[in-house]
């Protein structure tokens, strides 16, 4: 694996390799000293040209737990705000010693452009590009779901997929890179995905996607899903009126207290509520649903560190050192195009 740009590019075997590696990385979180020497001597640059809290901090924590050096770079207060091009920015970062560039960008396709450009040899990780994809978010969501499925069956999660799980993704599908990445990954892993959204927030061409589409959240909940993933309404990307009012959206598409009751009465005792964050309480999710024991939002955040540790390890070190506890020399790293 040279880069991680999209979950659509991942095979079933690729996805399981990342998830299984993340299970190994998760054991580090339970230690008194949360460190592995696997990436000692490597440098990871977090290039975030769009606002982020959870993802940036999670990647920083992941790199540091693997003993990598971390450089955090944002567009504000840097040469990017003076008009410097992406090409010049990333070449400067690589000249400083970047081995991997974790990039969030406002433009869809920016990560793929960087990886295919030939401008740098560093590994590229897509941390979210416009409305296109957010692969590590989908991986951590799949990791969380897989653990819950294993708990249901009383088995270890290692080596298993999501065959038979029913997942409903609700809300602003049109502007959501999380929805797209989850759709590709969850279906690759065998889950049945339903998209539930108002017609104005469903992308053109969704009929060709490997999922079921419904315009009724109540209908989706009546199908007894194993997981309901609520999406944030991305008002910062909306330049038109996609629904009459916030109150109307909540009434029709919010996970209200009444719909929480429907989920609890659906017959799936261990059904979970997921959210990529940040949550807009009172809009797409009620306070009761947000604070419910079914809500895995904080579990997802914790699992995100393990997933991102696995991704960085597999990109920068795995081909040279199969044991994460063993560091590799920087000169051993294979160049990426």
Is residue 134 a known part of a binding site? Answer: yes
Is 19 part of any domain?
Answer: yes
Give the predicted TM-score (pTM) of the model: 0.91
Going by pLDDT thresholds of 50, 70 and 90, the confidence category of residue 19 is very high
Task: Specify whether 144 is located in the same domain as 129.
Answer: no
Q: Structure tokens of 185?
A: 């990954």
Q: 29 with 109, same domain?
A: yes
How many whole angstroms from its chain centre is CA 116? 22
Instruction: Determine, yes or no, domain membership for 9.
Output: yes
Q: Residue written as tokens 């991986």?
A: 139
Does one domain contain both 148 and 127? no
| pLDDT of residue 244 exceeding 80 | no
**Do residues 118 and 50 both lie within one domain?**
yes
Looking at the structure, tell me whether residues 17 and 46 fall in a common domain: yes
- The answer to whether residue 324 sits within a structural domain is no
Cα gap 14→178, rounded to integer Å: 19
Average pLDDT, the chain: 91
Residue 330 has pLDDT above 70, yes or no: no
Tell me, yes or no, whether 212 and 153 share the same domain: yes
Q: Confidence class of residue 193 from pLDDT cuts 50, 70 and 90? A: very high
Residue 329 lies in a domain: no
Q: Do 145 and 127 share a structural domain?
A: no
175 and 280 inside one domain: yes
Beta-strand ranges (E) seen in 139-279 are 166-170, 192-196, 212-214, 227-230, 272-274
Q: Which pLDDT score, from 0 to 100, does residue 78 have? A: 67
Q: What's the structural domain count of the chain? A: 2
277 is in an annotated binding site: yes
pLDDT in tens, 90-132: 999 999 999 999 999 999 999 999 999 999 999 999 999 999 9
Predicted confidence band of residue 245 (pLDDT cuts 50, 70, 90)? confident
**Cα–Cα distances in angstroms (integers) from residue 294 to residues 195, 261, 266, 291, in the given order:** 20, 12, 13, 8
- Specify the pLDDT at position 337: 32
Residue 322 backbone dihedrals phi, psi, to 5 degrees: -70, -15
Pair (206, 256) in one structural domain: yes
Q: Which domain holds residue 102?
A: 3-134+300-318
Judge if 122 and 45 occupy the same domain.
yes
Residue 52: CB atoms within 10 Å: 16
180 annotated among ligand-binding-site residues: no
In this prediction, residue 52 carries a pLDDT of: 86
Shared-domain flag, residues 196 and 263: yes
Task: Quickly count: other Cβ atoms within 10 Å of residue 170's Cβ.
Answer: 27
Whether 336 is covered by a domain: the verdict is no
40 marked ligand binding residue = no
What's the CATH number where 170 sits? 3.40.50.1370
Is 278 assigned to a binding site? yes
Instruction: Read off the pLDDT of each residue in 46-72 and give the average, rounded to a whole number.
Output: 95
Does the pLDDT value for residue 80 go beyond 70?
yes
| Residue located via tokens 């010049």 | 88
**152 found inside a domain:** yes
> Any known ligand binding at 207?
no
Task: Determine which of 212-216, 237-241, 266-270, 320-324 has the lowest per-residue pLDDT on average.
Answer: 320-324
3-class state of residue 166 by DSSP: strand
Tell me if 137 is assigned to a ligand binding site: yes
121 annotated binding-site participant: no
Task: Identify the CA nearest to 137 among candidates 313, 300, 315.
Answer: 300
Would the annotation count 147 as a binding residue?
no
Per-residue pLDDT at 240: 63
Does residue 39 belong to any structural domain of this protein?
yes
Same domain, 204 and 229: yes
């Amino acid at each position: 694996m040279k880069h991680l740009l999209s979950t659509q590019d991942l095979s079933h075997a690729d996805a399981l390799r990342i998830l299984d590696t993340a299970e190994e990385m998760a054991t580090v979180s339970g230690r008194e000293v949360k460190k592995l020497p696997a990436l000692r001597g490597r440098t990871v640059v977090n290039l975030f040209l769009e606002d982020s809290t959870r993802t940036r901090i999670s990647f920083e924590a992941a790199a540091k737990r693997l003993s990598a050096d971390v450089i955090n770079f944002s567009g504000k207060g840097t040469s990017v705000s003076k008009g410097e091009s992406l090409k010049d920015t990333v070449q400067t970062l690589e000249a400083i010693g970047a081995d991997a560039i974790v990039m969030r960008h406002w433009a869809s396709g920016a990560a793929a452009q960087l990886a295919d450009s030939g401008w740098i040899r560093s590994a590229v990780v897509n941390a979210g590009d416009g409305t296109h994809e957010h692969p590590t978010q989908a991986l951590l969501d799949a990791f969380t779901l897989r653990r819950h499925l294993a708990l249901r069956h009383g088995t270890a999660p290692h080596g298993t997929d999501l065959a038979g799980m029913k997942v409903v993704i609700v809300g602003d599908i049109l502007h959501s890179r999380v929805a797209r990445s989850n759709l590709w990954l969850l279906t690759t892993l065998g889950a049945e995905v339903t998209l539930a959204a108002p017609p104005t927030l469903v992308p053109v061409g969704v009929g060709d996607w490997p999922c079921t589409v419904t315009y009724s959240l109540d209908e989706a909940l009546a199908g007894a899903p194993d997981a309901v993933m609520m999406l944030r309404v991305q008002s910062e990307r909306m330049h038109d009126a996609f629904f009459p009012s916030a109150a109307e959206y909540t009434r029709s598409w919010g996970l209200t207290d009444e719909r929480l009751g429907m989920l609890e009465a659906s017959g799936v005792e261990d059904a979970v509520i997921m959210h990529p964050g940040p949550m807009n309480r009172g809009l797409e999710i009620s306070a009761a649903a947000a604070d419910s024991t079914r809500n895995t939002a904080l579990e997802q955040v914790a699992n995100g560190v393990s997933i991102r540790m696995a991704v960085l390890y597999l990109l920068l070190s795995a081909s040279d050192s199969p044991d994460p506890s063993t560091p590799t020399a920087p000169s051993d790293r294979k160049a990426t195009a």
